[in-house]
Structure 1
Amino acid sequence: MKGPKTHVLLIGVGGYPYLKGGTEAKQQSPELAGLGQLTSPVASVKAMYEKVMEYNVQDVWSKPLGSIEMLLTPPPGLPPVFPGMNVENASLANIEDAYFSWKKRCDAHEENVALFYYCGHGFQKKYHFLLADDFGKQPANPWRGAFNFDDTRDAFYSCKAATPIFLVDACRQVTIEMLEKDLTVAPIDLPSLSNPEESKNHLTLKATASGQVAYGKKNMPTYFTQAVISGLDGLVARQDENEHWLVDTSSLGLNIHRLLELINSKQSFKQRCQINSGIPTDIVRRKTAPIAWLEVSCDPATALPLAGLTCTEDDEGASAPLTRKPMPDAWKLNIKAATYKLAATFEAGGDFTGGFIKTSLIPPFRKINVKCQ
């Protein structure tokens, strides 16, 4: 089928053979000696891959999925991540080959969406450097196993695809050794002075600010990746005039810190993302309502530990009401965007009488207090 498509390139580097804990570990400089293996990139790339394929089945990509290519290097000892699939490792040579193949596919139509995702180790000097799995193979110059992301991204803007999306889930720290040396790390692709500065609908999201660290739990997708996926799933969606739910480049970028806070409230302070975006353009388009987050409490707060709570969708064909027994904490729900009736009830003879409220839930989040007498 001809026409614009979404082309995806996923790169996950969790295994670094030449770094601490690797299968061919070599003695690195003191500042790199502690740099080792990662488990989050494997879980993160797997989550991204599954989400891309899920959207393909659901037919919600604004431009149908045209291709998906994946490079993944797991840390030693991990069982196969994609049994039966032939997934190449994320060496610098393989990353270069995959990048140029992806760029060529993206260049086939000016309305294509080009989605690039990287998760692994990163450093920042003047430019953001991303590490391939052969980083450290030559300890005298370990940077031969890295590439300059910023220049590579700028070079991509020569591509016809009007909507390039770059998601970079990597740290951006700098070492003293990096500052002391005239460090040059080559990009995969060379920017041209004749290139446009940016594609008009571009989006670049970096998981953290310059000099800072990105976070995640062991064997789990990173907080940034979870936030991106929750946004694409609809937590930043809006309805258009045809009642379709749309996620666009601008809404994903502008709400990334709110999404991080919903995933883990501490990350809204620890992890500050860098956002660079152009004209908003749709990424995902749904006919059905997405999931939003609802938090229900009582006013006054002293009523909450005694209140039985009920949440009923205001639709004749809706499913059975959701209920919760009295508990001291607010009731947190992940439910589809819709109009709901919320009620608090109390056992007869108590200190409070019941309350009721009708409210509309739209993404990403709403907090409601049911007033009780």
Structure 2
Amino acid sequence: MSEFLVHEAQVDGPAAHVLVVGVGNYPHLLGGSGPISAKHGGMGQLTSCPESARAFAAWAIAELDTPVPLGSVTLLLSEADPSPFLHPTTGARLAVAPATADNVETALSQWRARGDAGAGERLVLFFSGHGIAAGADLTLLAEDYGAKPHNALDGAVDFRNVVAAMDQCLAREQLYFVDACRVGSLALLSAGSNNGRPIFQQDLLAPAQPQMRRAPVFYAALPGTSAYGIPGRPSVFTRALLAGLQGYGADDFDGGDWQVTPSRLQDALEVLMALEAPELGRLPVPAAEHHGRVVIRALAEAPDGLTIVECDPREATEAASFACFENDLERARRGPAKRAWTVPLPEGRYRFVAEFADGSFRREEVERRVHPPLMRIPLRVRP
């Protein structure tokens, strides 16, 4: 049961078990080191996905401790130049196995077995790599996708099957994060009912679990669209996801306790990913399937609010120099840039100023009370 683990803790009672898969090295896709598959579909090598997986695994080890204590983190990485995983709390440098289809299947089976310890266990799956789709079906590509000339999909996982079959796992709370494209693929359309390895066989005669499963699924992209990586850095989705989990996807709806929940996390993902649109030249839009309310993470205290400062009209933002003041004391400043200005601030009252060195718009300021988790401050400027 210890294969592929990069973190394990002794927990007295139910625990959270995290499986992280990051695939960037694809020998049989364009630019790969092996024979190129006829089913490559224009896909090539990825450098953002392994970094996304490393970032998520490190965050889970360091931060994912409530409301269910962390029991284990499993990590698989496929990189063109493999390197150890740096454990964020011990500093240990750990060798990581590649994300081949066999290893992914084994890791998923071990992950499910941990969830079968009891209904109170919690399971978290994070995948970053290539994804291909046909309608509602989604297939996640392991490192060796295309290795078999006449069965390219043997190197891939049928994600829909995994989520559906996991309803028979005893763990009643399951979280899925998919940082992959969901663009249509001829490889799937031409494969009939073959959507990759099913991993788990569903038993339609098995008795239903006594408790309803809560299993929200978060996607980096809408059906039929692409996800966005940043070469050598965690992706747009992963960076927004970690920020949301850290507190920007929280609310204090339940008795004043700040909690990250699926609906608020999805709101945060949409807002935070949209901030990347000026650099990307298009709007990245995440998607989610919510199956019941889950407290994804409980916070010990109220988070800072992320204040998003921009001009109205938005085209003025690129020419603006912004400043933030609290009781006439300057707290932060930023010069002209394409995107809106994001300022983490504790709850309180602040004054925001926009100035234009080129004279294109008049100076404008506004005083507002800032509160967590996310707040937009528009400065309505005039030529």
Do structure 1's residue 282 and structure 2's residue 295 form an aligned pair?
yes
- List aligned pairs for 1:118-267, cutoff 5 A: 118-125=127-134, 127-184=137-194, 185-193=196-204, 194=206, 199-240=212-253, 243-264=256-277
| Distance of 1:121 and 1:331 partners within structure 2 | 30
Match among 30, 54, 58 for residue 46 of structure 1: 54
AA partner of residue 65 (structure 1): L
| Distance of 1:8 and 1:52 partners within structure 2 | 8
What is the CA-CA distance between 1:20 and the residue it aligns to? 3.0
| Distance of 2:284 and 2:322 partners within structure 1 | 37
Do structure 1's residue 99 and structure 2's residue 113 form an aligned pair?
no
AA partner of residue 98 (structure 1): A
AA partner of residue 35 (structure 2): K
| Distance of 1:312 and 1:326 partners within structure 2 | 19
Q: What residue in structure 1 maps to residue 35 of structure 2?
A: 26
Confirm or deny: 8 A CA contact 1:171 1:208 kept in the other structure.
yes
Do structure 1's residue 77 and structure 2's residue 85 form an aligned pair?
no
1:188–1:341: structure 2 CA closer, same or farther, 3 Å change rule? Answer: same
AA partner of residue 99 (structure 1): L
Secondary structure of the 2:50 match is helix
| Distance of 1:360 and 1:196 partners within structure 2 | 47
Structure 1: tracts of 5 or more residues without a match: 315-319, 347-351
| Distance of 1:211 and 1:297 partners within structure 2 | 31
| Distance of 2:19 and 2:307 partners within structure 1 | 34
1:328–1:39: structure 2 CA closer, same or farther, 3 Å change rule? Answer: closer
Size of the alignment, in residue pairs? 356
Identity within the alignment, % = 26
Which of these two proteins has the greater Rg computed from alpha carbons? 1
Match among 43, 63, 67 for residue 35 of structure 1: 43
| Distance of 1:28 and 1:22 partners within structure 2 | 10
TM-score of the aligned structures, taking structure 1 as reference length: 0.82
| Distance of 1:333 and 1:255 partners within structure 2 | 13
Consecutive aligned runs of 4 or more in structure 1 exceeding 6 Å deviation: 297-302, 304-308, 325-331, 352-356
What is the CA-CA distance between 1:240 and the residue it aligns to? 4.6
| Distance of 2:337 and 2:296 partners within structure 1 | 40
What is the CA-CA distance between 1:9 and the residue it aligns to? 0.4
| Distance of 1:15 and 1:141 partners within structure 2 | 19
| Distance of 1:139 and 1:170 partners within structure 2 | 24
| Distance of 1:189 and 1:300 partners within structure 2 | 52
TM-score of the aligned structures, taking structure 2 as reference length: 0.80
1:260-307 CA distance string (max 9 Å, x none): 1134457796434331112212111112332332244689999x9899
AA partner of residue 150 (structure 2): A
What is the CA-CA distance between 1:334 and the residue it aligns to? 2.6
1:72-113 CA distance string (max 9 Å, x none): 111x23554547302111111111111111111122232322
Secondary structure of the 1:105 match is helix
Q: What residue in structure 1 maps to residue 67 of structure 2?
A: 62
Secondary structure of the 2:226 match is coil
Confirm or deny: 8 A CA contact 1:91 1:133 kept in the other structure.
yes
| Distance of 1:118 and 1:269 partners within structure 2 | 23
Confirm or deny: 8 A CA contact 2:363 2:381 kept in the other structure.
no
What is the CA-CA distance between 1:154 and the residue it aligns to? 0.6
Q: What residue in structure 2 maps to residue 338 of structure 1?
A: 347
Deviates more, 1:105-114 or 1:44-53: 105-114
Match among 9, 22, 35 for residue 12 of structure 1: 22
Confirm or deny: 8 A CA contact 1:337 1:363 kept in the other structure.
no
1:147–1:2: structure 2 CA closer, same or farther, 3 Å change rule? Answer: same
AA partner of residue 348 (structure 2): T
